[in-house]
Amino acid sequence: MASRISSYWNLHKFSILMVLASLLFYTSFAYDLVRTDFIKLISLFFALFFLCFKLIQFEKWNFNFLLISGILFRLIFLLVEPNLSQDFYRFIWDGELVLSGINPYLQTPDAIMENGEILLANSQELYNGMGSLSARHFSNYPPLNQLLFAFSAFLGGKSIMGSLIVMRSIIILADIGIYYFGKKLLRHLNRSPHLIFWYFLNPLVIIELTGNLHFEGVMLFFFIWGLCFLSLNKWLFAAIAFACSISVKLVPIMFLPLFITYYGFKKSIKFYIVLGLIILIGVSPFYASEFISNYTDTIGLWFSNFEFNASIYNIIKQIAIKFDVKPWELIKTYGKIVPYLMIGFVLLLTFLRDNKNLSVLISSMFWVLILYYFLSPTVHPWYIIFLVGLSVFTDYRFPLAWSLVIILSYSAYENPEFKENLGFLFIEYFTVFGFMVYEIIKLKGQKLLIRKN
């Protein structure tokens, strides 16, 4: 036994030391960091990203080693409150509402607290913690997400920390599921299965999902599971999985037109019917006459009222200001245009690309997501985790670079006014666009060489 341990140490000592260093850095990130300390935040993040890169480089075929390392990194965050996001307060609030039989889509936290008739566990602490922006709006989280919040609140036993532990456990299990099904999908696509570690060990994924309790990973789990069913020609199970993904986060709904050319018209109708029925079943417990208007109005705010870490929108905004256009007028107009641009782009990819091949279908989804984030006026760091996960099934790696430089957006929290630093935004998007153009040119050149040969 001792000789085996000694032999393993000699073979993997640098990797083991990197894992130990990563554990220390994640511990510091989880327990000894406030988001206003921007220098410490980016120093830890860049160090963790470097160690992630070296671990995959050294141990990319040692799957068990990297899997266990990724799980250990996540477990560091298990018993601590998120320090970069306060969204978890709203998650628990919504979960407590559902447990109490109250529809979270019909009353805002402000209205509930003013009325004073509804008693929730830890209501004052949750209300204060979520902040005024969240408190004055209806919930924007889809039905399956609400059920997960309620499940976490139930098992949490009226304890905020208990609810956090349950939510983290769900998110960690979802990431393990992404690892499992991601490997299967990569093999089906004739890609190296080790590529899944660019998601599983990515510091942005670990910090924003397990650390800050965002549910993009749960959405991605159902989505990749659905892609696996597509690869096995099991359209019924694929429809159910995609419906669950949409019921956690709405983003995958943009991809639905692409299935017209993947399945053909007749079969895609069956696919849409099953998917729609599953979504309707999830919505039915929350349905009321005001549900649709409240929910759509809340979702619309993300396009017409809020702005953070935007690329194209910021360029248009800076030009518009030169012509004395008011920013609050611009974002409302911009928010009305973006959905039409997205619909047009999706339809172009639907009817001008041969999406019958699964690799091409995933590529089309990838570019839809790219345009969506480039056009969006709000791009929080955890939003692009879906893009990071999808990128490992394509030839493009610039989303990985984005997952590194997007941490610069946290510079906005360095000052009490939450003012964005345009210099950091320029560095972020110059890196992303530059790397993207480089990869497009490089891959086109490679395809030309293959055709000539």
pLDDT band at residue 449 under the 50/70/90 scheme:
low
Per-residue buried b or exposed e for 288-301, using 16+ beta carbons within 10 Å of the residue's own CB = eeeeeebbeebeee
pLDDT digit string (tens) for 253-305?
Answer: 999 999 999 999 999 999 999 999 999 999 999 988 888 888 887 777 666 77
CA distances from 403 to 205, 210, 391, 399, 400 (A): 9, 16, 11, 6, 5
Range in 63-77, 363-377, 388-402, 435-449 with the lowest mean pLDDT: 435-449
pLDDT band, residue 415 (cuts 50/70/90): confident
Q: Give the pLDDT confidence score for residue 11 in this predicted structure.
A: 87
pLDDT at res. 453: 62
Q: Are 178 and 200 in contact (CB under 8 A)?
A: yes
The sign of the CA dihedral 222, 249, 172, 153 is negative
User: Looking at per-residue confidence, does 327 or 28 come out higher?
Assistant: 28
Q: How far apart, in whole angstroms, are the C-alpha atoms of residue 295 and residue 196?
A: 35
Q: What angle do CA 52, 58, 60 make, to 5 degrees?
A: 80
- Cα–chain-centroid distance for residue 211? 13
Three-state DSSP state, 258: helix
What is the C-alpha separation between 112 and 401, in angstroms, rounded?
Answer: 43
pLDDT tens digits, 13-71: 999 999 999 999 999 999 999 999 999 999 999 999 999 999 999 999 999 999 999 99
- What gap in Å lies between CA 148 and CA 250, rounded to an integer? 15
Residue 327 CB: number of other CB atoms within 10 A? 12
Is residue 349 within 8 Å of 365, Cβ to Cβ? no
- Does the structure show a pLDDT above 70 at 9? yes
Phi, psi of 378, rounded to the nearest 5 degrees: -130, 115
Q: Which residues contact 16 (CB under 8 A, 6 or more apart)?
A: 9
